[in-house]
């Protein structure tokens, strides 16, 4: 039986992308290959908000994710990869993950809910453990899964083969598997050559439905997204493109959402809200 380091396991509605509004169980795995310290700041600057949270954590240790402060710059799920907060993320067996999943489902069985692998970056090494979750007897009525990924991690061959089969069983189709790829532009603070990997994303399309979702703060970001999309298309990506406003806290989100919606309309892309911000203030566990 596999074990996974779990940052959060919670029930909410999907707030972003193609399945906005769909009730979903979110498995947030621990660890990420990026830090995205540039979000919410002028280019070249890096957030130190999680350093300040850590200073507080040293004085008065936070005991759970719910106690952690939200940040307005950098990665809004910092505790899911920053090793200084790793004590908040237990190692759970695949069985424990499934049992907890069934507890938090309102009908204690799958009705129309989705299961979402998120992070951190959920396609790091943990991907080898996901079949143990998905093959559990209580997961057989699950119809739809999504991987919320930054689009930099290749699928291991065994996992790719497994997903292909999963998408053919129990009335599912290839469309039952979604890769929601939040590719990181320079506003994130990550390097383009490490963040925009079109061949990796194109390969996801061999096993499921793929779309791109770019976090946008200004017009420069939107133009950068257009250039990146050209590279993804050249590699074989055929899915939709979403622009989503920057803003893990309402004050920032409210400044950007209408402008980003207008940019999406002008460019012929889709607009993605981030419903967890206005509905739930982006609290942990939402």
Site for ligand SF4 in 132-161 (CB under 6 A): 150
Q: Which stretch binds ligand SF4 (CB under 6 A): 74-82, 126-134, 168-176, 248-256?
A: 74-82
Residue whose CB is less far from ligand SF4, 114 or 184: 184
Interface with ligand SF4, residue 119, by CB under 6 A: yes
Cβ atoms within 10 Å, residue 137: 7
Q: Which of 12, 14, 77, 153 binds ligand SF4 (CB under 6 A)?
A: 77
Interface with ligand SF4, residue 38, by CB under 6 A: no
Q: Which of 35, 50, 73, 146 binds ligand SF4 (CB under 6 A)?
A: 35
- Read off the tokens for 113: 């809910």
Query: In sequence order, which residues have a C-beta less than 8 Å from that of residue 110 and are 6 or more positions away?
Result: 139, 141, 142, 143
By the 8 A CB rule, do 248 and 70 touch? yes
Interface with ligand SF4, residue 121, by CB under 6 A: yes
Query: In sequence order, which residues have a C-beta less than 8 Å from that of residue 260 and are 6 or more positions away?
Result: 216, 222, 243, 244, 245, 271
Largest separation between any pair of C-alpha atoms in the chain = 52
Interface with ligand SF4, residue 72, by CB under 6 A: no
Residue whose CB is less far from ligand SF4, 4 or 105: 4
Interface with ligand SF4, residue 75, by CB under 6 A: yes
Total chain residues near ligand SF4 (CB under 6 A): 11
Site for ligand SF4 in 15-34 (CB under 6 A): 32, 34
By the 8 A CB rule, do 237 and 268 touch? no
∠ CA 116-32-246, nearest 5°, is 75
Interface with ligand SF4, residue 12, by CB under 6 A: no
Query: In sequence order, which residues have a C-beta less than 8 Å from that of residue 185 and are 6 or more positions away?
Result: 195, 214, 215, 216, 221, 224, 225, 228
Interface with ligand SF4, residue 73, by CB under 6 A: no
| Residue in 245, 187, 242 with CA at minimum distance from that of residue 213 | 242
Q: Which of 25, 36, 71, 200 binds ligand SF4 (CB under 6 A)?
A: 36
Question: Half-sphere exposure (CA, 13 Å, Cβ side) for 218?
Answer: 9
Q: Which stretch binds ligand SF4 (CB under 6 A): 113-121, 221-229, 252-260, 261-269?
A: 113-121
> In the complex, which residues of this chain contact ligand SF4 (CB under 6 A)?
32, 34-36, 75, 77, 81, 119-121, 150
């Amino acid at each position: 039986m596999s074990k996974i380091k779990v940052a959060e396991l919670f029930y909410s509605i999907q707030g972003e992308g193609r399945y906005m509004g769909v009730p979903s169980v979110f498995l947030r795995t621990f660890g990420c290959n990026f830090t995205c310290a540039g979000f919410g700041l002028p280019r070249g600057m890096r957030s130190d908000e999680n350093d300040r949270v850590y200073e507080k954590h040293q004085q008065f240790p936070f005991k759970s994710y719910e106690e952690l402060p939200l940040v307005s710059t950098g990665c809004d799920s910092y505790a899911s990869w920053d090793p200084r907060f790793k004590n908040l993320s237990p190692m759970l067996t695949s069985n424990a993950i499934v049992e907890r999943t069934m507890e938090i489902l309102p009908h204690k069985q799958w009705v129309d809910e989705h299961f979402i692998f998120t992070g951190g970056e959920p396609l790091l090494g943990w991907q080898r453990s996901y079949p143990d979750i998905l093959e559990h007897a209580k997961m057989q009525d699950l119809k739809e899964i999504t991987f919320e990924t930054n689009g930099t991690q290749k699928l291991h061959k065994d996992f790719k083969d497994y997903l292909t089969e999963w998408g053919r069983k129990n009335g599912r189709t290839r469309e039952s598997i979604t890769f929601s790829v939040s590719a990181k532009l320079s506003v994130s603070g990550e390097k383009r050559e490490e963040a925009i990997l079109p061949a990796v994303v194109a390969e996801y399309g061999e096993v499921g439905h793929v779309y791109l979702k770019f976090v946008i703060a200004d017009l420069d970001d939107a133009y950068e997204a257009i250039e990146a999309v050209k590279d993804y298309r050249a590699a074989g990506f055929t899915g939709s493109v979403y622009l989503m406003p920057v803003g893990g806290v309402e004050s920032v989100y409210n400044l950007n959402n209408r402008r980003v919606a207008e940019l999406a309309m002008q460019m012929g892309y889709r607009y993605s809200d981030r419903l967890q911000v206005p509905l739930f203030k982006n609290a942990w566990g939402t």
